[in-house]
Structure 1
Amino acid sequence: MELKKICDGLDFPEGPIAMADGTVILVEIRRGTLSRVHPDGRIDVVAELGGGPNGAAVGPDGMIYVCNNGGFVWTKGEPIRRPIGTPEDYISGSIQRVDPDTGIFETIYDSCDGQPLRGPNDIVFDTEGGFYFTDLGKSNPEYMHHGAFYYAKTDGSSIRRVHAPMITPNGIGLSPDGRSVYVAETRTSRVWSFDIIRPGEIAPVRFDMPGRLVTTLPNYQLLDSLAVQEDGHICVATLMRGGISVVPPEGGEVSFVEVPGDPYITNICFGGDDMRDAWITASGTGCLYHMRWPTPGLKLNFNG
């Protein structure tokens, strides 16, 4: 598979969305923006969101819904830029709704049941128009919050904690039949599956196994965001090894697609007429790549 660099100069890009016009909308976490990358590599700022915009998805109203982690402390003077802590001015995380045409945005959630959102990370919409999102938590040298994943409505009327505690839940996606939700944990290198009973509610989990364990990657491979293929396989961006792990939904051998030159491969999304155009964010070096994927990606419910 040929890897093509679309652009560089992005400030820790994540959350790519393949749009119908051929552009890719993504976040630049360190820059604090929602941005649009054109096929020729031009970068336009859609909105100045502040904090740490992270995962992003198109909602049923055509708006872009952004998980904002509240911001990071960043490395300085290293060739690979990476987040290393929580800034002193951090207040909370949030979910933001952005008009991609005007850049006007609003915060629709910053807490659940009176508890602040810590570090919202990745997001996916179901067929009902609600969305699941992960909250990775925040950390410093002395503590790390437990994480969770949530379900919310776009009008700001309802948010619920679906499952907690989790250890750094990051990527989230739905199975092709919409009956399972997948969550990748960064620090445990695990991908979990949960059975959905109804929107925002999962089947009870066993006390000795907090979900169905799909896979645990060996060695020091950390997991980031994910996307699902049309055949149900789970494509998980894999930090430190630098590439995309392709995980069978029922377990089994995991294959790997390397993206050279950056250990911080953080996201993959699919688009194009045949859903085989894959866009991959290399966050540490600030690049967006394109490749033709061997298997079609799963079309999202409200893709732009």
Structure 2
Amino acid sequence: MTTNPPHKVETVVATTDILGETPLWCGRTNKLWWVDIDRQLHQSFDLATGAHETIRYDCRFLGSQALASDGSHILAQDLSLFRRDPVSGIVSRICEVETGVDNRLNDGRVDARGRLWIGTMDNELHRPNGALYRVDGDGAVRRMFADVIVTNGIAFSPDSRTLYFTDTRRYRTWCFDFDLDDGTISNKRLFADYAASGERPDGACVDVDGGLWTAFFSGGRIARYRPDGQIDTVISLPVTNPTCVCFGGSDYKTMFVTSARKFLDTGQLSSEPEAGHLLAIHGLAQGLPEHRFVFGKAD
């Protein structure tokens, strides 16, 4: 295992995100997009111009986002999914994923057939109220399984044969066999277990070689797992709370890391000036373009 390899961690945008999350690189716009969940901000950064733009939404939590094939953005607001038109900026509801529970939508990812896999989480961070859902292009919602505290770390292997899923407050990551044609999962098995230490695996992404990169909230690091579950790289970060990772840039060789100021006390914040910033690390590995949500009824 390689620990602290000689890769520079730098600030890309000196934001003050309370809970920065869900970074996604859009190759069409050459922008990095992410959210601040607690400030309800949808943000973008243009690497060519340095422009940082934000849009605030009228919701309690802006839980996550996804890119769509028509250029729009999918936004998870509280327990519903919305589409934001890229030209007009008009926001329209796609579907309500859950009702009648003290939950919100959290991590999600689109599969290679254009379906969104997204989960919910308990707003009190300890009750197993959440679930994982598949949302199809026509807005149909299918619950895949329940008994989730905090959904995180949804990622697909490069060959689309494995789905990774983390429950941060159960301190575990699982993997499933994934049937891309049918959009089903099976053969659940434990991939990484931190129940004894209470470490919190959070957002994740995969590289071209099938490595799973995971951010550790309250752990100050990211780690790469080989497909066999062994860690081969650990990168220490200048922030206590990294939240999620993605690859981007023209060659997908820049890793972007979102972070959070949430749960840090005054002393920690004063000694951690980069908390809440968008960070970047160059040359760790090469990633893959994100799949895009496809509107319309499946064939």
CA–CA distance in structure 1, aligned partners of residues 89 and 17 of structure 2: 19
Equivalent in the alignment of 1:7:
13
Are residue 253 (structure 1) and residue 231 (structure 2) matched? yes
CA–CA distance in structure 1, aligned partners of residues 80 and 214 of structure 2: 24
1:50 aligns to what SS in structure 2? coil
Q: Which residue of 46, 54, 64 corresponds with 2:63?
A: 54
State the 1:237 CA deviation: 1.1
CA–CA distance in structure 1, aligned partners of residues 103 and 93 of structure 2: 14
State the 1:192 CA deviation: 0.6
Equivalent in the alignment of 1:38:
46
Q: Which residue of 113, 123, 130 corresponds with 2:115?
A: 130
1:144 aligns to what SS in structure 2? coil
Q: Report if aligned partners of 1:135, 1:170 keep a CA contact under 8 Å in 2.
A: no
CA–CA distance in structure 2, aligned partners of residues 160 and 154 of structure 1: 12
State the 1:115 CA deviation: 5.9
State the 1:245 CA deviation: 1.8
Q: Deviations over 1:226-268 (max 9, x none)?
A: 11111111111111111212122222235321111x2110011
Q: 1:195 to 1:33 in 2, by over 3 A?
A: same
Q: 1:254 to 1:212 in 2, by over 3 A?
A: farther
Are residue 149 (structure 1) and residue 149 (structure 2) matched? no
Q: Report if aligned partners of 1:117, 1:135 keep a CA contact under 8 Å in 2.
A: no
Equivalent in the alignment of 1:76:
none
Q: 1:98 to 1:199 in 2, by over 3 A?
A: farther
CA–CA distance in structure 2, aligned partners of residues 290 and 221 of structure 1: 23
State the 1:47 CA deviation: 5.0
Q: Which residue of 150, 167, 173 corresponds with 1:191?
A: 173
Equivalent in the alignment of 1:213:
190
1:139 aligns to what SS in structure 2? coil
Q: 1:188 to 1:145 in 2, by over 3 A?
A: closer
Q: Percent of aligned pairs with the same residue? A: 26
Equivalent in the alignment of 1:288:
278
CA–CA distance in structure 1, aligned partners of residues 209 and 120 of structure 2: 27
The residue type equivalent to 2:97 in the other structure is S
Q: 1:289 to 1:8 in 2, by over 3 A?
A: same
| Backbone CA RMSD of aligned residues | 2.3
Q: Report if aligned partners of 2:223, 2:231 keep a CA contact under 8 Å in 1.
A: no
State the 1:106 CA deviation: 2.0
Alignment of 1:237-248 (within 5 A): 237-248=215-226
Equivalent in the alignment of 1:78:
none
Q: Report if aligned partners of 2:217, 2:243 keep a CA contact under 8 Å in 1.
A: yes
1:187 aligns to what SS in structure 2? helix
Alignment of 1:146-185 (within 5 A): 146-156=129-139, 158-185=140-167
220-229 vs 13-22, which moves further: 13-22
2:177 aligns to what SS in structure 1? strand
CA–CA distance in structure 1, aligned partners of residues 167 and 89 of structure 2: 31
CA–CA distance in structure 2, aligned partners of residues 117 and 94 of structure 1: 13
Q: 1:116 to 1:65 in 2, by over 3 A?
A: farther
Q: What stretches of structure 2 of length at least 5 have no aligned partner? A: 1-6, 262-274, 294-299
Q: Report if aligned partners of 1:3, 1:290 keep a CA contact under 8 Å in 2.
A: yes
Alignment of 1:221-236 (within 5 A): 221-236=199-214
Using CA pairs below 8 Å that are at least 6 residues apart, which structure has the higher relative contact order?
2
CA–CA distance in structure 2, aligned partners of residues 11 and 259 of structure 1: 16
219-228 vs 114-123, which moves further: 114-123
State the 1:155 CA deviation: 3.0
State the 1:33 CA deviation: 2.0
Q: Which residue of 29, 34, 45 corresponds with 1:26?
A: 34
The residue type equivalent to 1:7 in the other structure is V
State the 1:22 CA deviation: 3.2
Q: What stretches of structure 1 of length at least 5 have no aligned partner? A: 71-92, 206-210
Q: 1:148 to 1:293 in 2, by over 3 A?
A: farther
